[in-house]
């Protein structure tokens, strides 16, 4: 029996740097929660945003689309975006579509 992962967002902010750690499944139902969390940290003055996807078990096309949109927004609005890779199989949507080459994936530098 497969148990669905509970979706959670953990938020950290230090100065103008924010980190959102997303846990569970990122799909059409949970994308609005991530978008809301991003909007909040940007409204609070974040100029650098890391979204940690390392605890995701699944990402669907709506999650992929959100990251493409956030990447476009960041360059147009003057803030930086970094994504920490999710584990397989959640990373497969980025690989299959080729988005992995165009999104700002970074190494996790947290302790």
pLDDT in tens, 12-48: 999 999 999 999 999 999 999 999 999 999 999 999 9
Q: Phi first, then psi: give them for residue 13, nearest 5 degrees.
A: -140, 130
What domains does the chain contain, in order, with CATH numbers?
Answer: 8-106 (3.30.750.24)
- Strand-pairing partners, residue 48, are 17, 80
Does residue 71 contact residue 103 with C-beta atoms inside 8 Å?
Answer: yes
Question: φ and ψ at 45, to 5 degrees?
Answer: 100, 10
Q: What is the pLDDT of residues 42-93, one digit of tens each?
A: 999 999 999 999 999 999 999 999 999 999 999 999 999 999 999 999 999 9
Q: In whole angstroms, what is the distance from residue 58 CA to residue 87 CA?
A: 9
């Amino acid at each position: 029996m497969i148990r669905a992962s509970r979706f959670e967002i953990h938020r950290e902010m230090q100065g103008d740097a924010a980190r959102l750690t997303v846990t569970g499944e990122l799909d059409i139902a949970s994308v609005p929660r991530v978008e809301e969390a991003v909007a909040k940290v940007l409204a609070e003055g974040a100029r650098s945003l890391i979204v940690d996807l390392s605890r995701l078990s699944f990402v669907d096309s709506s999650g992929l689309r959100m990251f493409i949109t956030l990447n476009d927004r960041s360059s147009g609005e003057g803030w930086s975006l970094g994504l920490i890779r999710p584990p397989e199989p959640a990373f497969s949507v980025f690989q299959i579509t080729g988005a992995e080459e165009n999104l700002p994936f970074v190494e996790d530098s947290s302790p």
